[in-house]
A and B are shown apart, each in its own frame.
Chain A
Amino acid sequence: MPRSRIDIPETIHYLSILDEHGVLDTELEPQIDDKTLIALYSAMLLGRRFDERMLDLQRQGRIGTFPPIKGQEAAQIGSIFQLKSTDWFVPAFRETAAEIWRGRSLESILLYYNGFNEGTIIPADQRDLPMAVPVGSQILHATGLGYAARYRGTDEIVMTYFGDGATSEGDFHEGLNCAAVYQAPVIFICQNNQWAISIPLKQQTHSATIAQKALAYGMPGIQVDGNDVLAVYTAAQEAAERARNGDGPTLIECVTYRVMMHTTADDPSRYRDDEEVERWRQKDPLTRFAVYLQNKGLLDQSREQEIETEVLAKIQTAVDSAEKQMKTLGEPLDMFNHLYAKMPPSLQCQKEEVRQYLANNTGEVHHG
């Protein structure tokens, strides 16, 4: 009856390939073709510029409250690139760059943040869930999707995203536990941006890392430099292979930083110093990736300018088109639609009540 050490099969690694100064570990460098590298860069830049434009629009009162993603582009784009269109994407609410990569239109994002239900319509061929605002709640859906994908004999995998704060919710623990129990093909991406509104990571968990929580559930976990797109890409590639081979789920902790406010309604000066933010701004994911591409001879000033111009044009077109669409949307009677497969009689009555009310009170004719 000894007191002996129990060896737990996994260990936790930290992975960094391209550091904040743009210095590369050539041994760890993933083999990615030139076209894909430029696609990664363009997707990150689009995420960045669209975020900046949304902030302008919000400040001008042209969209409502939204959560900026600035600084988290590598964590999102490096990971989402591993999904095929037949795989499933289960976002939280701060994955705008990943959502765009999956095919969500910029217009739909603008509609959503302008309070139009039309902004959550998902194209029929897209295997994406809508954003989940209740923190951590979507994690279990990913596990269920993964289970179903296996049950139905497909080779689909599932990738879900959440923040550091979400790891405190019961749903996170239940989702990981069940995924491991069923060896479901799910990749859990934690965007550890150090803050959950005003709560810093060290008040969120007493664990040294988030990655190590994977060990408790018997699945591999890895911590990566979340501002290093090559590291995120590599870790997600390994996890995707594992999932596709039937070897179960993985937890990836992307260490990154929320350089902006939590949402546009938040005032971070109440709870954190600018110095800390400034330090993280120096670790910007786009800057170092641009240096990497320059060193590889894939990006020079004119190419950079070209991509920038393309991205800005795409954003402008979307803003114009969304603002035009908004003028024709907003029929109030539509709010009754899509609640049930078949509208129950009681709801039809309520809809009719509103139709008559609006007709008598505004003189407008409604065709919801």
Chain B
Amino acid sequence: MAKMTMVQALNLALKQEMAQDDSVVLLGEDVGPDGGVFRVTDQLIDIYGKERVIDTPLAESAIVGMGIGMAIHGLKPVCEIQFSGFAYQNFHQLENHAARMRWRTQGRLTVPMVMRAPYGGGVRALEHHSESREAYWAHTPGLKMVIPSGPRNARALLVAAIRDPDPVIFYEAKGLYRAFREEVPEEEEVMEIGVPQLVQEGDDVTFISYGAMLRPALEAAEQLAAEGINVEVIDLLTISPLDDRLLIESVKKTGRAVIVHEAPRSFGAGAEIVSRLLEGAFYYLEAPVQRVTGYDIVIPYFSREKAYMPDTARIIKAARATLNT
């Protein structure tokens, strides 16, 4: 096994899927010789050529719209949108077509396509480059919304996304691209989409998070452990469709939950999770469920970004609130 950054792990997933299935094609802005602005597609054009690693004109609607056509024809396009902040330019293609082609044609035509895009803050980027808007896609019936939290699951989930028979939105936290390395096996590894993961067991309170926010959640759990508070940590991995069974089971045990995401609080993933917990574990709850999230504002330019992003201290404070300590 090699130690890889998330960028390298994603590159490995693409490289191997393209090797074993020639219907897999990549398209996007600067994915060719430049290797993508974050280098996720680095050198793939040298291996697979420009017919399969397609540098497109600057048009997101074209990337996703053409991707839909390709997918209907039987290819498995992996569309790269350079930053998720520019995926609104292709919103209608996903909402009006990709998400509902199977439904409209009663199963005759399908769109096995992936849209990859970097998302999230904390990297001192220019405006429009730091948003976390997974809720838009999670709100669209027919799409799957996946967000890995590290190199190894990023690789295994991207493989699953490419093989998935339905359109998958795959958000990659920019803050994680090169933040740390993990062992990633050379041989095939696939994770099931739609299944949250138990990262750490504990009895006192459940942390539910995903993407870049999983790390501060784990750090907070570690600090609380030093005080004898045992935190159970769940990594959502798939935001939608949301499988709540593990979450409900966990909260039945701990009676307390803290949800952490960097997206704005209102109408975010946290709101849906709270509802599911109320529906499934109401009589087990010992305290109101806490949300540690971004605020209901545009993420500020980077000099104020730190005050916006959830951090370990905020998570610990929320945990204490559920524990009344």
A, B from the same assembly: yes
* Chain A residues near B (Cβ < 8 Å): 64-65, 112, 114-117, 119, 133-136, 165-166, 168-171, 196-199, 203-205, 265-266, 270-271, 326, 329-330, 332, 334-336, 339, 346-347, 350, 354, 357-358, 361
Other A-B pairs, 11, CB within 8 Å; known A166-B58, A270-B34: A64-B302, A115-B124, A133-B128, A134-B89, A168-B58, A271-B34, A326-B303, A336-B297, A346-B296, A347-B295, A357-B314
Q: Say whether B16 faces chain A, with CB atoms less than 8 Å apart.
A: no
Verify A112–B295 contact, CB threshold 8 A.
no
* Chain B residues near A (Cβ < 8 Å): 29-30, 32-35, 37, 55, 57-59, 61-62, 85-86, 88-89, 124-129, 265-266, 295-298, 300-308, 313-314, 317
Residues of chain B within 8 A of A135, CB atoms compared:
58, 86
Can you show 24 pairs from A to B with CB atoms below 8 A apart? A115-B305, A116-B301, A117-B304, A133-B129, A134-B86, A134-B128, A168-B59, A169-B89, A197-B29, A197-B30, A198-B32, A198-B34, A199-B30, A199-B55, A204-B58, A271-B34, A326-B303, A332-B308, A334-B304, A336-B295, A347-B295, A350-B295, A350-B296, A357-B314
CB-based nearest A residue for B88: A134
Complex Cα gap A237–B302 (Å): 40
Residues of chain A within 8 A of B307, CB atoms compared:
332, 335, 354, 358
Residues of chain B within 8 A of A205, CB atoms compared:
57
Q: How far is the CB of B49 from chain A (nearest CB, A)?
A: 15
> Given A169-B89, A199-B55, A199-B58, A347 and B296 touching (CB < 8 A)?
yes
Verify B295–A119 contact, CB threshold 8 A.
no
CB-based nearest B residue for A114: B303
Verify A65–B62 contact, CB threshold 8 A.
no
> Given A115-B302, A134-B128, A168 and B297 touching (CB < 8 A)?
no
Verify A65–B303 contact, CB threshold 8 A.
no
Complex Cα gap A203–B314 (Å): 48
Verify A198–B33 contact, CB threshold 8 A.
yes
CB-based nearest B residue for A270: B34
> Given A115-B124, A134-B86, A330 and B265 touching (CB < 8 A)?
no
Q: How far is the CB of A107 from chain B (nearest CB, A)?
A: 14
Verify B301–A112 contact, CB threshold 8 A.
yes
Complex Cα gap A254–B128 (Å): 27
Verify B33–A270 contact, CB threshold 8 A.
yes
Residues of chain A within 8 A of B295, CB atoms compared:
335-336, 347, 350, 354
Complex Cα gap A226–B247 (Å): 60
Q: How far is the CB of A99 from chain B (nearest CB, A)?
A: 15
Residues of chain A within 8 A of B32, CB atoms compared:
198
Residues of chain B within 8 A of A133, CB atoms compared:
126-129
Residues of chain B within 8 A of A330, CB atoms compared:
303-304
Verify A347–B128 contact, CB threshold 8 A.
no
CB-based nearest A residue for B85: A134
Residues of chain B within 8 A of A358, CB atoms compared:
307
> Given A134-B86, A197-B30, A115 and B304 touching (CB < 8 A)?
yes
A114, A198, A266, A270: the one within 8 Å of B55 (CB): A198
Complex Cα gap A166–B314 (Å): 41
Verify A168–B308 contact, CB threshold 8 A.
no
Q: How far is the CB of A329 from chain B (nearest CB, A)?
A: 7
CB-based nearest A residue for B61: A170
Q: How far is the CB of A137 from chain B (nearest CB, A)?
A: 8
